[in-house]
Structure 1
Amino acid sequence: MTEARKGVLAMVAACSIWGLSALYYRLLNHVPPLEVLSHRTLWSLVFFGLVLLVQGRLREVGALLGGGRQLAYVALASLMISANWFLFILSIQIGRAVESSLGYYIFPLVAVLMGAGIFGERLSRAQWGAVALAALAVLGLTLGLGVAPWISLALAVTFALYGVIKKSLRAGPVVSVTAEVILLAPLALVWLWGVHVLGWEGLTGRNVAAFGQSWRESLLLACAGPITAGPLILFSYASRRIPLSTLGLVQYLNPTLQFLVAVLVLGEPFTRWHALAFPMIWAALALYSLDALRQDRALRRAETSAGTSSNMR
């Protein structure tokens, strides 16, 4: 099996886990979202720490947390990914998984806009068209439902900002996420101490203190570590073996599975306004992806031509 094929399979596996993770979090529907988030943070730290320990790379985390601008970037990234994780968990618990999938569909288009606004990247006509089409879809959904899909927008914006910040980090994804959960771990520990010892209640007004109540509850919460870390490791493996254009196309498997799970398994309503907005989003992504493929092929041809010219000299 070629390295490229291994990369594609790894990316498919990562997106499948991400896309089906709503089923896992639905099993924890009775546990307040902040409690679930705290366990997700701590068990992710345990899992990532063991992986880096085996690889002998723990020193890289220490270097990233050594202070200065890199530490500030890690802190900002940790806030964005924590907010994103919380919103995803919350969306499952309150029956808004369809909105969650919409957020991850529009995330690439929000990221393109941020690239233009923050890094001065130029957008092609096709990219502007894709962004405009997505904006019309969100506007139509807002007018039709009478309320903006705030979970979708918040998920897309926090994940796009997370990507912007990660561009400034001099570390791979596994090392940087480990550093991020290290910074979040004290907050998670304080919250769980409050839940278990002081009887704190979450945003839902419930106190569950689920860990330790039964082996099933404890195992489910502990599984948040590998469910979070596993796909990221697979994504890191894939990103080193396949072109970015292929990576971008395969990643749409994640929100597609989220959408199918929300409608077909969780039984969430899919209104006529959703039926209008989602095809517009899919068309926008098709337009964006086709343009990305065109640019990627043009770049490859230019590199091949430059290499041929260099060899002829």
Structure 2
Amino acid sequence: MADQEITLRPQKSTFTELINAVKINPPALISLVIIFIYVFIGLFGSILAPYEFDEMGVGIPLQKPSWEYLFGTDEFGRDVFSRVLAGGIISLRIGVLVVGIAGTFGSLVGLVSGYIGGWIDEAVMRITDIFLSVPDLVMALVIATSLGASIDAAIIGITLVRWTGYARLIRSGVIAEKGKDYITASRALGLHPSRIIFNHIFPNSYTATLVQATFDFGLAILFASGLSFVGAGAQPPEPEWGALVASGRQYVQAAWWIPIFPGFAIFGAVLAFNILGDTLRDFLDPKLRHSMDQKH
């Protein structure tokens, strides 16, 4: 009877175990809360903002932070707090699009390349080598500039330099899985390759891409801000955080709040996603996860 009760007791899901791992890790828990705040701002920033982000003359130009203007005003009398909130909407869109497109495309390429192998796999790997031979930000800058400086150009540029990571991760997982007995048995049963790839191989090899996606979300925000800062991304009056820092740098001594607050927004987002990514990596790595279980 006792044995039967043990057998029938439901196992904890991986998601539940992950939530528990985050709960006992204060930095990860704080980072998750910060990310939820950023997502909330990204979804409802336009409602929370006391003024329109491009509304001029709402206050005296270069007014210091106060209860009326939490982040002060810029050189045109625009409310910096409203502009930072509006920038959160843009940053959320950038992160979602870059991770969604790069992750999907890179994963598909990696699945096909790893499963088919041969000259196709070799060609894909050489293409990724070309992308990896140039620093990501430099290549993204070249692509965005050639397409015309804009947020959309920045998104395309960042996406084109980040898909390679997903392709290589998935390819490694596919190569490790496709030689196992259950895949050999699936082939012997005559299952279509697409069914083998998506129903059997992908569910057992995608976990590393979750970590990559978490890091890339913060990296996309950082890269987009960098491109906007040098004029290859968002253009005035768009309140993208990097563009806000760029437009406010000339006032850094007289009105420090103009570049500082959007700079803090960039820093907080990147740090939060990096910490959460570290937690996911530790949880999904069997060796690190075993050491975590022993500690707790």
Larger-gyration structure (1/2): 2
Higher RCO (Cα < 8 Å, 6 or more apart): 1
Q: 1 or 2, which has the higher helix percentage?
A: 1
TM-score (norm 2): 0.31
TM-score, structure 1 normalization: 0.30
